[in-house]
Chain A
Amino acid sequence: MFSHWLAVLLVRSESALERARQHATEDDEVDGPRRSAWYSDRPPPFFAAVVSDTRRTMTARQQHDVECSDVDVLRQTPRLMWETDGLLGLVAYRAQSRWTSLGIPVLPRLARRVCSMAGNIRIDDQAIIEPGAIFPHGQVTITGATHIGPGSSIRQWTRIGPGPTGDAPQLGAVVRVGTTSEISGSVRVGAHAIIGANACVSEDVPAKATVVGDPARVIGMRTPAPLGTPRRAARPRQQRQPDRSAPPVPT
């Protein structure tokens, strides 16, 4: 039973990660923002998303080993939920969206309460966040049918949601949203874009652009490394500390 569940989980997360990678490399070749075929209308599968999110958190903490299996990553998830500010809320949101799509009545509301208590993350049911997101300090409000691409990093005090017309923003892959920024209305943000602190985005942002200010203006374009490239060689895992209660060995 357990192995069956594990096999299903691994296959699912493999395919989700594969799709995320494909998506990112496809978008690398595109200049302008666009709606990719990868965007789905359904929330991503729960465990695949949680594994991706945990990997993203570990990468941010420079603890990520690329060869680490999904099961190892899942074993790290509870620890990281306790030690980091954003992951607990994010996992609660994943549960919320999963239970909502299954049609379970009360549990999504409870998950939403947990989500908003742990790091004040408020995400509507209609919003879709692809796997591999990170909220470094929580404190994020995402409303309406907002779509956030894989590998995005959304910092604190941001508001992302529909404007007065009711159309929600679409964020591409690996977008980095800075603190206190606001994205509203039917805006498309291209892949690998960076949105600076306190920016108010109400028009489309091209891929790989850096925007700041109110209204946001482009101040630079960048050439990022493709997704999955390790920033630095993975450090060897720390050895377990010797037991302090054991008597010291005489030399």
Chain B
Amino acid sequence: MKVDLHAEQPRRAPQPNLRTAVGGDLRLAGRALADDGATARNLLGRGLRLAVTNRALQGLIAYRLQVHFAERGRPQVSRAFHWLAIWRGQICIGRAVVLEPGVSIPEGRVVLDGRIHVASEVVIGPETTLGLREGSFAAPRIGRGTTIGRRVSILGGVTIGGGARILENSVVLNNVAAYTTVAGRPTTPVISPAAPVISPATPAISPAAPFRSAQQTT
């Protein structure tokens, strides 16, 4: 397969800065623990306490540091944090990926590579792959509040609308509309937006359940 590495590539979105990103991740993790309308400061503390024991969260923070040092032109330090993320949370994320602040990877075990854009409040389940298909650099874009189940592969230049749900063991090769639930290999809609389970009025899906199960297992 011929891939021209020197071809013009679209510019990716800027990486979020370290403080915002880690703060967003910890707050989301804290809110997932108990969605009781706590203040942002309380949520941050809760997230920090969670990070003491939760390896996936440690991996995610290591990934944020990896991005931080890569942006500041320290590739070897960045690489060291990449290995730390792999070791702690089995989180393996390439340098072209943009994760907006407040992404939840409750059980770790994800591989993301290519120019992927992941919006905030996305929950990514374990043993998930987001990546490229052979012969193209087009990468997935994941909308806000999407939930991705376990053992899902999202490959190629796919756009997933906000609030979608991807059930486990599916392969996403086509676009997914917002607030749709999809499953299968390749995926087909199970619940179409005509009868949404998650109403567009609800702000975001609470990732409470996967977090609790992660706590029980570890």
Give A contacts to B, CB under 8 Å. Answer: 62, 82-83, 85, 117-120, 137-139, 155-157, 178-180, 196-198, 212-214, 231-232
Partner of B92, one of A137, A180, A196, A198: A137
Q: Given known contacts A157-B111, A197-B155, what 19 new A-B pairs fall within 8 Å (CB)?
A: A82-B79, A85-B86, A117-B87, A118-B83, A120-B86, A120-B90, A138-B86, A139-B92, A178-B153, A179-B111, A197-B129, A197-B153, A197-B185, A198-B153, A198-B169, A198-B185, A212-B185, A231-B2, A232-B2
Report B69 CB to chain A, min CB distance, Å.
15
Report B35 CB to chain A, min CB distance, Å.
30
Give Cα A90 to B137, complex, Å: 27
Q: List 18 A-B contacts (CB under 8 A).
A: A118-B83, A118-B87, A119-B92, A137-B111, A139-B92, A156-B92, A156-B111, A157-B129, A179-B129, A179-B131, A180-B151, A180-B152, A180-B153, A198-B151, A198-B171, A231-B1, A231-B2, A232-B2
Report B90 CB to chain A, min CB distance, Å.
5
Q: Which residues of B contact A197 (CB under 8 A)?
A: 129, 153, 155, 171, 185
Give Cα A187 to B170, complex, Å: 24
User: How many pairs, one residue from A and one from B, have CB atoms within 8 Å of each other in the complex?
Assistant: 61
B5 touches A180 (CB 8 A): no
Interface residues on B, range: 20 to 34
Q: Which residues of B contact A198 (CB under 8 A)?
A: 151, 153, 169-171, 185
- Residue ID in chain B nearest A213 by CB atoms: B185
A180 touches B87 (CB 8 A): no
Partner of B129, one of A119, A180, A232: A180
Q: Which are the 10 A-B pairs with shortest beta-carbon distances?
A: A197-B153, A179-B129, A157-B127, A156-B111, A137-B111, A198-B171, A197-B171, A179-B153, A198-B185, A180-B151
Give Cα A233 to B109, complex, Å: 37
Q: With A180-B129, A198-B171 as known contacts, state yes or no: A139 contacts B79, CB within 8 Å.
A: no
A157 touches B92 (CB 8 A): no
